[in-house]
């Protein structure tokens, strides 16, 4: 009798040790969901769809993209916070949802550190200052003069914290009164700009470049410290406004308490696909520079970025809403 009890105990203990490994080896067994907290066509959406295709192929399972836009990305992020930590729901996040909102919003329905498991950083992209063709300026210097000479009349649309802080910081640093108009994403802000309802958008490079190639907008500068290889003739705004710089980033996260074996597997998969030539080409074509880190690197980045965006928000003279 004692032998049988001992045997059952040994077997049960062995199963506890084997089960996580067996689960990790079997994973995934069903469709995975990537929640994108911004609308279709946004920079985050582009990143999410490129990764969903590539990681889905590597994992041997379909990954669907679910756009949950609104409230500076907090609606989608909060949905992932409440999802099961089983490896089937992930957040394609940004510096907006994981850092900037802590300074821009009075209430955020999640803790950007405690409520998520970091998988890895993906890429960065600068913003581009674009205007409609009704703005009477032909270069950045002329646009700065125009904005300063027309207080309250130059309206810029923001569809993310990056575009919001980019515009507000720019206005603050050139000492101009520019009016901020909120949107659920950058694509609808561009649509309104082209329609003449606003004059300016600080748009991610991918969306801006599509409009520039179509000849529909004027482009005056990029928000990165150096000129972009994709738009080499366009100056960095800091060339006219010394010290100006803002470059958002993108990353992948899961709900808190994702099992360590799954976290490691997903981090490895992400790092692997970011080395793929086709993935690089697609992201580069969309205006992104691959800038990857592992889970530990992403966790450290978020801690630092929450502080940095607080400083940027203060410099931009933005009051939390």
The pairing of strands 89-94 and 32-36 is parallel
DSSP state of 159: S
pLDDT tens digit sequence for 3-28: 455 455 444 554 454 444 444 568 99
Cα(167)–Cα(214) distance, rounded to whole angstroms? 23
Write out the chain's pLDDT in tens, 321 residues. 444 554 554 445 544 544 444 445 689 999 999 999 999 989 999 999 999 999 999 999 999 999 999 999 999 999 999 999 999 999 999 999 999 999 999 999 999 999 999 999 999 999 999 999 999 999 999 999 999 999 999 999 998 888 999 999 999 999 999 999 999 889 999 999 999 999 999 999 999 999 999 998 999 999 999 999 889 999 999 999 999 999 999 999 999 999 999 999 999 999 999 999 999 999 998 889 999 999 999 999 999 999 999 999 999 999 888
Q: Give span(s): CATH 3.40.190.150, the chain.
A: 9-125+249-315
Residue-level pLDDT at 8: 53
User: CB–CB of 217/136 below 8 Å?
Assistant: no
The structure tokens listed for 142 are 């002329």
- The torsion defined by the Cα of 163, 205, 89 and 306, in degrees rounded to 10, comes to -40
Residue 41 structure tokens: 């066509």
Q: Which of 79, 92, 30, 21 is nearest to 59 (CA)?
A: 30
**Encoded tokens for 52:** 């969903």
> Which residues does residue 157 pair with via DSSP β-bridges, in sequence order?
181, 201
Tokens of 267: 């981090």
Residues in Cβ contact with 94 at an 8 Å cutoff, skipping those fewer than 6 apart: 37, 38, 43, 44, 73, 160, 162, 248, 249, 250, 251
Number of helices and strands in the chain (H, E): 12, 11
Indicate the class that CATH gives domain 9-125+249-315: alpha beta
- What per-residue confidence (pLDDT) applies to 184? 86
pTM listed for this prediction = 0.84
**What's the CA gap between 156 and 138, in Å, rounded?**
18
> How many Å apart are CA 101 and CA 306, to the nearest integer?
9
229: buried, middle or exposed (CB in 10 Å: 19+, 13-18, 0-12)? Answer: exposed
Spatial contact of 105 and 245, defined as CB atoms under 8 Å apart: no
Tokens 């108009």, residue located: 181
Give residues with Cβ within 8 angstroms of 166, minimum separation 6: 127, 129, 202, 223, 246
Biggest CA pair distance of the chain: 93
SS3 category, 218 = strand
Instruction: Name the segment(s) of the chain with CATH classification 3.40.190.10.
Output: 127-239
Q: What is the pLDDT of residue 160?
A: 86
Please say whether the dihedral angle defined by the alpha carbons of residues 93, 179, 40 and 109, taken in this order, is positive or negative.
Answer: positive
Write down the CATH superfamily of domain 127-239: Periplasmic binding protein-like II (3.40.190.10)
The number of C-alpha atoms within 13 Å of 176 and in the hemisphere containing its C-beta is: 23
């Amino acid at each position: 009798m004692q032998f049988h009890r001992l045997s059952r105990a040994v077997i049960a203990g062995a199963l506890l040790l084997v089960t996580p490994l067996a689960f990790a080896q079997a994973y995934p067994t069903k469709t995975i969901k990537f929640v994108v907290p911004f609308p279709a066509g946004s920079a985050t959406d582009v990143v999410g769809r490129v990764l969903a295709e590539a990681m889905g192929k590597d994992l041997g399972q379909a990954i669907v993209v679910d756009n949950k836009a609104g409230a500076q990305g907090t609606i989608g992020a909060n949905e992932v916070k409440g999802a099961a930590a089983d490896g089937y729901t992930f957040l394609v996040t940004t510096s907006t949802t994981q850092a900037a909102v802590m300074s821009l919003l009075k209430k955020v329905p999640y803790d950007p550190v405690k409520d998520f498991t970091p998988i890895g950083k993906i890429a960065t992209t600068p913003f581009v200052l674009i205007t409609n063709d009704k703005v009477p300026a032909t270069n950045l210097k002329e646009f700065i003069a125009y904005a300063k000479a027309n207080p309250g009349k130059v309206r810029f649309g923001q569809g993310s914290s990056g575009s919001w802080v980019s515009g507000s910081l720019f206005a603050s640093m050139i000492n101009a009164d520019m009016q901020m108009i909120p949107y659920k994403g950058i694509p609808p802000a561009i649509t309104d700009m082209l329609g003449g309802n606003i004059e300016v958008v600080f748009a991610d490079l991918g969306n801006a470049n599509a409009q520039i190639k179509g000849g529909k907008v004027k482009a005056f500068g990029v928000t990165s410290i150096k000129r972009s290889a994709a738009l080499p003739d366009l100056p960095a705004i800091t060339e006219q406004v010394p010290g100006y710089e803002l470059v958002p980033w993108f990353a992948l996260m899961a709900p808190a308490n994702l099992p360590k074996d799954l976290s490691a597997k997903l981090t490895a998969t992400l790092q692997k696909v970011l080395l793929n030539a086709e993935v690089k080409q697609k992201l580069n074509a969309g205006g992104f520079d691959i800038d990857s880190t592992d889970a530990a690197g992403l966790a450290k980045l978020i801690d630092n970025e929450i502080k940095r965006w607080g400083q940027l928000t203060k410099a931009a003279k933005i009051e939390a809403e």
